[in-house]
Amino acid sequence: MLGLEGPEHTGPHTGDDWVQALRLRGAARDDALRQLHALMVRAAWHQVRRMRAMLPDANGDALGEIATAAADGALTALLTKLDTFEGRSRFTTWAYKFAILEAASEMRRRAWAHRDVRLEDADRWADPGPGPAELTEARELARAIRAAMNDVLTAHQRRVAVALLVDGIPIDVLADRLGTTRGALYKTLHDARGRLRTRLAADGFLSPTQNRTGAR
């Protein structure tokens, strides 16, 4: 039998045992899948309990449904990446992480399910207008950022940057709303930051060293 040890527990089975069993067909694979899913449900429940304050009105049944859905998604994700397991940690530790991440994403998705996510390409960097003399530098920087956002970023890059950096929308929620992936959004944000740093350095608001290192 394959063990169901959590990441803190040692057992007689190795990652190769799990990988080989999950590549089989028939009853042996079904048994491995059943045990692995049970492990992931426990891991997902752990994360759901940690984040339950995000869903204060959810009862035990609703939270259990979230944990099970997260375990289902985590198991599917793990199976698609089974060939990437390198044995650097226990297989159960590796599997546990899939469930934790999926449960966290599912909790954030549920928490934001009925919240408005602004995706229009609005001018969110409005000129703050006149102010005290000591705020001159801050006003100039704000205007420079506004100009850079409008001049060097695409509409999509602006939407992503504002949603993630200004509105604080969780990246997995934004990915779901836009029909894309976390990786694609990270790439978009990385490119947007690079363009903004280059422009601000050219305008004298960042030193060349800061631009090269990505200092904030």
- Prediction pTM value: 0.57
Reading the block at residue 214, the tokens are 């990505």
DSSP 163: I
**Residue 117 CA to its chain's centroid (Å):** 16
Per-residue pLDDT in tens (0 to 9) along the chain, 216 residues: 344 344 443 333 556 788 888 988 888 889 999 999 999 999 999 999 998 888 888 898 999 999 999 999 999 999 999 988 888 788 988 999 999 999 998 888 888 877 766 666 555 555 555 555 445 667 777 788 888 888 899 999 998 988 888 778 888 888 888 888 889 999 999 999 999 888 888 877 776 555 555 444
Structural domains for the chain: 15-111 (1.10.1740), 133-213 (1.10.10)
Q: Kindly compute the dihedral angle of the four CA atoms of residues 6, 11, 12, 13, in this order, to the nearest 10 degrees.
A: 10
Task: Classify 42 in phi/psi space as left (phi over 0), alpha (psi -120 to 50) or beta.
Answer: alpha
Alpha carbon distance 33, 25 (integer Å): 11
